[in-house]
C-alpha cells in the first residue's frame, strides 16, 4: 500500500460498502454517500470539509490509486458496470450533483491513466468532454 498518499483511507471506506455499491450501480442507480470514495475527485479550494478526506491531491495520487489492485480494480469494475447501462444518462443514474462528481472523477482518472476503458466510458457518458474545473485544478488547458 502506498503510504505516501494514504490510499488505505479509500480501501477502508470501500470495504464495508463496496459490494452494496456495485450492486446498486449495476441496477442503474447510485447511493450518494458512496460517491466520494468510490469515484474520488481532485481536491479543490472549494471542497466541502465533509468530502475533503477523500479528495485526491494530485495526478500522481490518482495514478497510484489506479495502480493499486484493489482500488484500481474496483474503479474499473464500476466503469464496466456503467458500460452495461445502455440508454441511461449520468443524470438519470446519479442525479445532477453526483453526475457532476462522476464527470470530475472520470476526468481526473482519464488524465492519470491512459486507458481505453476510461476513455470509452468518458466518451459514452460525457461525449468525451473533460470536466473544466478538474482540468483547471490540474493546471491543464481545456
pLDDT given at position 44:
79
What's the topology of domain 8-137?
Answer: 1.25.40
- What value does the mean pLDDT take over residues 94-102? 95
35-85 tens-digit pLDDT: 999 999 999 766 677 678 899 999 999 999 999 999 999 999 999 999 999
Q: Which of 74, 83, 84 is nearest to 34 (CA)?
A: 74
Residue with cell 462528481: 101
Contacts of 109 (CB under 8 A, 6+ apart): 62, 65, 66, 75, 118
pLDDT given at position 45:
60
pLDDT given at position 125:
95
Domain borders along the chain are: 8-137
pLDDT given at position 3:
80
pLDDT given at position 134:
95
* pLDDT > 90 fraction of the chain, expressed in percent and rounded: 83
**Would you say the pTM of this structure is higher than 0.85?**
yes
Amino acid at each position: 500500500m502506498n503510504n505516501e498518499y494514504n490510499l488505505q483511507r479509500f480501501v477502508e471506506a470501500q470495504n464495508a460498502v463496496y459490494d452494496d455499491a456495485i450492486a446498486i450501480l449495476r441496477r442503474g442507480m447510485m447511493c450518494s454517500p458512496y460517491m466520494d470514495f468510490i469515484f474520488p475527485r481532485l481536491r479543490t479550494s472549494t471542497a466541502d470539509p465533509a468530502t475533503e478526506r477523500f479528495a485526491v491531491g494530485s495526478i500522481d495520487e490518482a495514478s497510484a490509486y489506479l495502480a493499486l489492485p484493489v482500488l484500481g480494480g474496483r474503479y474499473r469494475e464500476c466503469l464496466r458496470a456503467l458500460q452495461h447501462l445502455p440508454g441511461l444518462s449520468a443524470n438519470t443514474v446519479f442525479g445532477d450533483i453526483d453526475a457532476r462528481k462522476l464527470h470530475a472523477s472520470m476526468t481526473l482518472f482519464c488524465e492519470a491513466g491512459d486507458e481505453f476503458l476510461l476513455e470509452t466510458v468518458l466518451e459514452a457518458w460525457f461525449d468525451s468532454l473533460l470536466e473544466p474545473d478538474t482540468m483547471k485544478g490540474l493546471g491543464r488547458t481545456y
